[in-house]
């Protein structure tokens, strides 16, 4: 999720992630430090929650906090390539077929 709105529905997503059965896959989270104190705090909170549920940093979870970045398409564009590379990189040495 790029600059996610975890505040929506009074933060219900935190309960869902905390209580849901574990699944395989990768999660990408990012936020800019100029998106607001609450937004940065919520994204950090989700990172911590996912890590506590077994999503290991670098393999199943990538977290990017861009210093000085705001909530804009310009900021997301800078981070998009890194997100796609992480999410679509080969699993177990096999290429990912995206077609």
pLDDT in 10s for each residue of the chain, 99 residues:
999 999 999 999 999 999 998 888 899 999 999 999 999 999 999 999 999 999 988 889 999 999 999 999 999 999 999 999 999 987 655 554 444
The pLDDT, as a whole number, for residue 58 is: 81
The pLDDT, as a whole number, for residue 98 is: 45
Give how far Cα 56 sits from Cα of 26, 27, 28, 64, 70, Å. Answer: 9, 10, 11, 14, 27
Are 46 and 17 in contact, with CB atoms under 8 Å apart?
yes
Spatial distance between the Cα atoms of 81 and 83, rounded to a whole number of angstroms: 5
Domain locations in the chain? 8-17+26-88
pTM of structure: 0.85
The pLDDT, as a whole number, for residue 24 is: 84
């Amino acid at each position: 999720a790029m600059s996610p709105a975890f505040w929506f529905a009074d933060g219900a997503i935190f309960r869902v992630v905390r209580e849901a059965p574990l699944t395989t896959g990768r999660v990408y989270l990012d936020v800019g430090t100029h998106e607001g104190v609450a937004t940065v705090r919520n994204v950090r909170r989700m990172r911590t929650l996912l890590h506590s549920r077994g999503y290991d940093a670098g393999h199943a979870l990538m977290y990017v906090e861009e210093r000085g970045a705001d909530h804009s398409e310009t900021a997301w564009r800078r981070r998009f390539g890194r997100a796609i590379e992480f999410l679509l990189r080969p699993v177990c040495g096999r290429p990912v077929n995206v077609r």
